[in-house]
Chains A and B, each alone.
Chain A
């Protein structure tokens, strides 16, 4: 059957179509195409960041933005979501924001794709870039060019119950049983000491609450959470030789190294420690669980990022002022991969892990020319020394990254964190000892880091669940690393990228 369309019907349809077209025309231009900004009188800076950290940035920067008359839009994402969004926008060359925070491990993927503006000299001068620690400069640079601005100097450091280690009765008992001395100034100097401490403090009521809830350690072990950093912090002392810059893969051949005896020993010990001397569920602890166990006064030692700041906050902690800090423990034996054997060191060889490397601030290469000047001004305001000290001395999740911040004992001791002088000095010394350490291990950042991370987390997690023995687990991880390297363009290419991430 045919159908008649009246003129009225036709006009209605035409009107509807015209209306839709008009609405589309009136809608703001797509971000990045310039129209949205160019048509507006006020320059609008778009920022993408984590929910918590982004809100802190916003709170900090809004008064300044109002003073200078810039507009502001903030995209807020969860941790995994932000990284995924950034990587997808980079891979598809689509605009996400003018300024975004991103994990420095992703620098190879992001910078190599040409997704960032190089930081101009006038910005570096304005934020006193010479004050930034060299190990942090490495996480901001690529091939000698700076592409990101410092915001957070993430590292893992050891934290321990200084008050218990200073208790003479406990110390005497510990020494008589283990042969080691408890040192309240340094904590465990080697992983052997760490293990002795873990075993000694498990199973008796040292926290005096009358309950059987006292354990030696808590570390981050959950797959898909922060296992990658938990494991490598435990492994670097055995697997990173001071004379050899390679750690994850060989910098010359690109072959995976993660199944050498150094890594296997670390995994074997880590599994044992977590199965025997950590709280119930400890083999699957998240980063937050490990912090809670420490701050709740139920374990005597851990290694972590934010142990000092959260321990200082009364709402999270019952151990304020009772913690000591140091770089990660070392080892008298280190596996020399090139020589193919273990090497003994009279003094423990430490290899502090620059875990994660911190969030950095970057400017998208897709930022419209009409706002680029305002964007640079905003990043200067956000990362200049006066702002930096505010971020690291408040409960923001940011850790020190400048020489001047490591000297700012008063700001940490009496500022918002209220660490007190003793804790502040310990904390800053631990940060300095880690960030300045000649054998510090830079986190994996040579491209495809998420895949390498997933592969390692799977293997280690299998060993932790006794599904496979540590050697078998690390063999699987090594095979997966090699396959990922091949898929990412070949082992030699990955080795070249690795050298670049190490500044070689």
Chain B
């Protein structure tokens, strides 16, 4: 025991508390544990409970009852829910790879820039600093306004028909993706730039001296070394894309029809606006489950790829 090794007596007038190390750690952890329990674990458990009841915020004078798996059964048999799930997956698959691609290309280009790098960094940081609601309104509802918006005006001036950016199901999803890619590619650029700066220059230089081409160097040396940070960035964006709600709400409200409604928007509508906390909770848990499975699979794949690369 460390205390037994002490040989110097305590100074006079100093009150000593001998607290066991483990206890001391728990004491220090207690505030965070309390906060986590109250602000995270309790709501998560409560939401799980709500998903098994018929709890409704605005139903006055009717007792809440335990309904077992009813909400989940309703969810799985609900075509509207599956439509929102499909929209969410399509959105995620549409935006994340595109953001990664744009981010990687620009990060590699900027990696070779020696002058004005700070300016570019600030430049690319700017879209991230603007609220998605503002982005959706300014770019979406104003630039892509179908009637008198500048993009359609230009298209018509060139002699073509205006495009129904927000009122045709496919175009509406495309427009939302364009806006999200515009805003969040910057995040990829910054993350991947940071990753690239961690790749030792001498490795690339050595490969170059050995006659490796740019692509060989990129795929055999740069990319494997950037992979951990790229995987983190991808995972963050995948989770964000699964939770998309703000730009859809401002741009299309989930329409036309249900063409752009995401799972999170459906949860908001059912649980927050509609007061149907039970059904909203079951949807939220389903989304959480999908994200956990998807995130876990993605991380496993990434680990496997990294270990293969090391070998």
Q: Hey, which bits of chain A sit against chain B, CB under 8 A?
A: 1-7, 10, 80, 84, 87-88, 90-92, 109, 112-113, 213, 222-225, 279-284, 289, 293, 447-448, 450-451, 454, 457-458, 461-465, 467-468, 487-489, 493
Task: Please tell me if the beta carbons of B18 and A467 are within 8 angstroms of each other in the complex.
Answer: no
Q: Are A7 and B256 in contact (CB under 8 A)?
A: no
Say yes or no: B61 contacts A461, CB within 8 Å. Answer: no
- Whether B152 and A280, one on each chain, are in contact in the complex, defined by CB atoms closer than 8 angstroms, is yes
Distance in angstroms between the alpha carbons of A225 and B252 in the assembled complex: 9
Minimal beta-carbon separation of A401 from chain B (angstroms): 26
Contacts A112-B61, A280-B146 hold; do A84 and B256 have CB atoms under 8 A apart?
Answer: no
The answer to whether A465 and B169 have CB atoms under 8 Å apart is yes
Question: Could you give 21 example pairs across A and B, Cβ below 8 Å?
Answer: A3-B19, A6-B15, A7-B14, A87-B275, A91-B58, A280-B162, A280-B164, A284-B252, A293-B147, A454-B274, A458-B257, A461-B258, A464-B256, A464-B257, A465-B168, A465-B259, A467-B259, A487-B54, A488-B56, A488-B58, A489-B59
Contact B80 A284 (CB under 8 A): no
Most buried by A among B167, B253, B259: B167
Distance from B24 Cβ to chain A, minimum over Cβ atoms (Å)? 5
Asked if A462 and B57 sit within 8 Å, CB to CB, the answer is no
Residue pairs across A and B with CB atoms within 8 Å: the count is 148
Using known A-B contacts A280-B146, A293-B147, A450-B274, determine if residue A467 contacts B17 with beta carbons closer than 8 Å. no
By a CB distance below 8 angstroms, the chain B residues around A87 are: 57-58, 275
Mark contacts of B261-273 with chain A using CB atoms, 8 A cut-off: 1 yes-contact digit, 0 otherwise.
Answer: 0000000011011
Contact partners of B257 in chain A: CB under 8 A: 458, 461-465, 467-468
The reply on B21 being an interface residue by CB < 8 A is yes
B145 contact set on A, CB distance < 8 A: 281
B116 adjacent to chain A (CB < 8 Å): no
Q: Is B180 an interface residue (CB 8 A)?
A: no
**Contact mask B232-275 → A, CB, 8 Å, 1/0?**
00000000000000000100111111110000000001101111
In the complex, how many angstroms separate the beta carbon of B280 from the nearest chain A beta carbon? 11
From B3, B168, B254, A223 is in contact (CB under 8 Å) with: B254
Q: Are A454 and B152 in contact (CB under 8 A)?
A: no
B258, A458: Cβ atoms under 8 Å? yes
Kindly name the residue among B21, B145, B169, B274 whose own CB sees the greatest number of chain A CB atoms within 10 A: B274
Contact pattern, B 41-68, Cβ under 8 Å of A = 1, otherwise 0 = 0000000000000101111111000000
A457 and B256 CA atoms in complex are apart in Å by 10
A113 touches B60 (CB 8 A): yes
Which of the residues A2, A80, A289, A468 comes within 8 Å of B18, measured between beta carbons?
Answer: A2
* List of A residues within 8 angstroms of B258 by Cβ: 458, 461-462, 467
A458 to B59, CA, bound (A): 22
Nearest first, the 5 A-B pairs at minimum CB distance are A224-B253, A281-B146, A465-B256, A1-B2, A5-B17
Cβ of B307 within 8 Å of any chain A Cβ, yes or no, is no
Q: How far is B54's CA from A282's CA once the two chains are assembled, in angstroms?
A: 39
Measured in the bound complex, the distance between the Cα atoms of B10 and A284 in whole Å is 78
Is B1's CB within 8 Å of the partner chain A? yes
Report the bound CA distance from A468 to B256 in whole Å. 12
Q: Which residues of B contact A113 (CB under 8 A)?
A: 58, 60
Closest to A486 in B: B54
Chain A residues in 8 Å Cβ range of B308 = none
Q: Are B275 and A281 in contact (CB under 8 A)?
A: no
B20 at the interface (CB under 8 A from A): yes
A223 lies within 8 A of B275 (CB): no
- The CA of A448 and the CA of B277, in the complex, are separated in Å by 13
Q: How far is the CA of A442 from the CA of B32 in the complex (A)?
A: 52
Q: A1-B3, A222-B252, A464-B257 known; 5 other A-B pairs, CB under 8 Å?
A: A91-B57, A213-B147, A282-B167, A461-B257, A487-B276
Q: Considering the chains assembled together, what is the distance between the CA atoms of A293 and B252 in angstroms? A: 19
* Pairwise interchain contact A281-B59, C-beta atoms closer than 8 A: no
Closest chain-B Cβ to A207's Cβ sits at a distance in Å of 13
